[in-house]
Amino acid sequence: MKIVGLTGGIGSGKTSVAKEFESLGIAVFIADKESKKLLFTNEKVIDAVRTLLGNDSYITNDKGLVVPDTKFIASKVFNNKMLLNSLNQILHPAVRTFFKKWILDQKSPYIIYEAAILFETKGHLSCDHVITITAPLEERIRRVMKRDKVTRKDVESRLHNQWSDAQRLELSDFVIINEDFHKTRRFVLSIHEVLLKN
């Protein structure tokens, strides 16, 4: 099974591009979404996160369920690169283990592995090709502020923990400039055709 990595900085539009590939019948694995699920369900992950960040990283919600306090976790790691790296070292091996099982059930001609920090975690080494999505920086900041209801400073601190577009592009096979929906769709269709032939 051919694995195609899909990445890009925060606010670049990875989710919308992933949906375009899904509309073409391509199976998509969204690593960030799966890592969030593991924070809820995987006992080893839960224990490791509590050890790393303390018991305040989990709270009891109004239904009596113990759930991750994602705001608390984010406040701890986004301004502390060492803690963020430690959290990634907990989550990413667990995500990769789940991905290896997931891929066995897929039937599409190739699969998309979407991850915000694909290069930072060396996930690209397991991919046959990599697509990087770019968008103007100000547009990305605006999108994230609106989507996550956070300040510009919050977004900038997250950007600081990710690779730059220049670093990503150096190791990518394809690039999608995600400014205009119709152009983005044409990029996706073109890449899809190339991937089907190779």
Q: Tokens for 24?
A: 């073409």
Counting every residue written for the chain, the total comes to 198
Q: How many Å apart are CA 109 and CA 93, to the nearest integer?
A: 25
Please give the domain boundaries of the chain with CATH numbers for all domains: 2-197 (3.40.50.300)
Which stretches of the chain score pLDDT less than 50?
Answer: none
167/1 Cα distance (integer angstroms):
27
pLDDT tens column, 29-84 = 999 999 999 999 999 999 999 999 999 999 999 999 889 998 899 889 877 889 98
The answer, as to whether pTM is greater than 0.85, is yes
The whole-number pLDDT of residue 121 equals 85
Q: Residue 106: what pLDDT?
A: 97
Structure tokens belonging to residue 86: 């430690």
> What is the spatial distance between Cα 54 and Cα 181, in angstroms, rounded to a whole number?
43
